[in-house]
Structures are given as structure tokens and as C-alpha cells.
Amino acid sequence: MKEIKIVEEIRKLAGKPGKGIIAGIGDDCAVLKYAGNKYLLWAADMLIQGTHFDIKNAGYEKIGRKAIAVNISDIAAMGGIPKYVTVSLGLPPKRSLNTVRALYRGIDRICKEYGIEVIGGDVNRSLKLVIDVSIIGIVEKKRLLRRSGANKGDLILVTGPVRNGRKEHLDFVPRLKEARFLSGRFRITSMIDVSDGIAPDMGRICAESRTGCRVYADSIPLSKGLTLEDALYFGESFELLFTMPVVEANRLFRSMRSGRGDLKYFIIGEVTGENTGLRLIQKEGRSTALKMKAFRHF
């Protein structure tokens, strides 16, 4: 069964969010009321040995780093600033103190780099290594970005060149700086981080916004060695995928020309009405369906 179907199922079972909850299931973070002009952002992301990483290839330090990085990416995608994490470990019985130290070294370094504090956790025995990180961040109410605000006619953009998720998934730099730049200066109508591929993640924006989309195959900026197929369906690039009105995109690109931004934003398509569906436009103009499915990782 697909993750998307399971999440849909859970959402049906969970019902409508209550008061105090600005956003629940269906965004990268849950959004809760908080003090002053701010909201609290809250997310959890689990990494499992064999599903998200292979210990031999990765090494514990990089795994620790990635467990935090994917959570920072969730906060970034909502326009916010990461603040605190708790780390729950499932640790195979024979692992040594050195394993824990290496894992924690990876966790500690990236946390220091982003000004995040580790404030809790839990250690358990497990056959396979499991790291589940829960993160809390804050976001100014005005800067909150969600998946649900895309409008017909908006442009679709991605940060890039899109990284190669197969090669860089352990070392990626979460696009926090870019997300804060965008959320502070421009009217962004929706945003998500690309964990499963541009196609399914764009599909999520369209589902939440009740729109369709047209993505132009040859406009997707591929990093060296990345295939279009992987950019669309493999994911693990953790690029930001977002939408904004044309007039705002013009402001963004003007700000880049004047040197205050940089050259990492690319237009890859446009938001359409819901009944267009999700379309991929090939170079020669032929249109095919963008699928919601993602490759299984590793």
C-alpha cells in the first residue's frame, strides 16, 4: 500500500482539526497557536535502516546528520525557523558507545550549525537502527507557508539545479536560507520540500490547493548526472517546490538581477484548474500524466 493512501486514510480517521490547530495532517508541519505574532511548527520524521539508509555506505555520523536535516527541511518548507528537537533511537543490541557517539556527533554538528537544541529523547532496543526526530520551530504568522494556497495562473518554481537524491541524500543542505528569503520578501502561495520527487510532491500541492498543474520537462534544472525520471519520481533532493503569482516571480527575478538574491530559483511550470489534472509537457509539446507514485528508496 502506498504511503499517500495511508496518510489519506489516517486523515479521514482523524477528522477535522480543532481550535488551537492552524494546520494538521497534510502539510510538512502541524501548525499550532503560539504567543504574539508567531505560530508553533511541529513535525516528526523517521529514518529506518534499510529504508532510508544503508549503514555500511553511510556511516553513523552522516545518518545522525540526515535525521536532523530532513526535519529542518520540513520547518523550512513552512517558512519557519527550527528551534528544538527530540531524538528517539531504536538501537540494535550490539551497538557500542562509539556508535552512539558517532550518531550524536552528526546530530550535534548540524544542530549547532542551525542554532537548534536537542532537548529530549528516548533510547530503545531494535533489530534495525531507527531514528525518529521530532522538531519544533516558530514562524511569524505572516510568513507561514502551506501546501494549500496555490491558485490557477501561479507559476511553479523549484530551487536548484535539483540535487541528485541517490547520491546526495546524506549530505544535502536544507534550503532554510532560501525559504526564509522567500517567505520574508515575496508572496509565496504554496510550498513543499521535495522528499519523494517533483511529481508526487507537486501532486500534494495540487491536491491541497484543488488545482491542476503543467510542468515543462525541459525546464527542470538537473544537477550533473541526475535523470529527469529521478528528479520527477525519486526525490530525496529536499529542494523547495513552490508557487507564486507571475508578478511576484518577476519581483523575485528582478531582485536576483540586482544582486540581492542568487541564481537558484527556476520556473518549471504553471498552476492550472483542477480538471486539467497533473500534466508533464515534453519538449515536443506532447503531454503525459505526472504520476503520484514515487520510487521506493534504497
**Can you give the binding site for its own copies, defined by CB under 8 A?**
1, 3, 5-7, 9-10, 13-14, 17-18, 20-21, 24-25, 29-30, 32, 34-35, 40, 42-46, 48, 50-52, 83-84, 86-91, 95-97, 100-101, 104-105, 108, 117-128, 130, 132, 134, 136, 296
Work out the angle at residue 246's Cα, subtended by the Cα atoms of residues 144 and 149, and round it to the nearest 5 degrees.
35
Q: How far is the CB of 244 from its own copies (least distance, A)?
A: 25
Closest separation in Å from C-beta 230 to its own copies: 19
Cell reading at 223: 544537477
User: Which three cell numbers, joined as nine digits, stand for 250?
Assistant: 518577476
Q: Of how many residues is the chain composed? A: 298
Burial of 23 (0-12, 13-18, 19+ CB in 10 A): buried
Of 140 and 266, the one with the shorter C-beta distance to its own copies is 140
Q: Which CB, 51 or 288, lies closer to its own copies? A: 51
Which residue, 108 or 140, is less far from its own copies as judged by CB?
108
Minimum CB distance to its own copies, residue 91 (Å): 7
Q: How far is the CB of 242 from its own copies (least distance, A)?
A: 20
Cα–Cα distance between 207 and 4 in angstroms, integer?
Answer: 11
Residue pair 195/201 in contact (Cβ under 8 Å)? The answer is yes
The span from the CA of 234 to the CA of 231, in Å, is 6
Q: C-beta of 149: minimal distance to its own copies in Å?
A: 19
**By C-beta, is 170 or 281 nearer to its own copies?**
170
**Which lies closer to its own copies via its Cβ, residue 36 or residue 285?**
36
Please identify, using beta-carbon distances, which residue of 96 and 275 lies nearer to its own copies: 96
CB 235 within 8 A of CB 194: yes
CB of 121 to its own copies, least distance (A): 6
Residue 38 grid cell: 508567531
Would you call 184 exposed, middle or buried from its count of C-beta atoms within 10 A (0-12, 13-18, 19+)? exposed
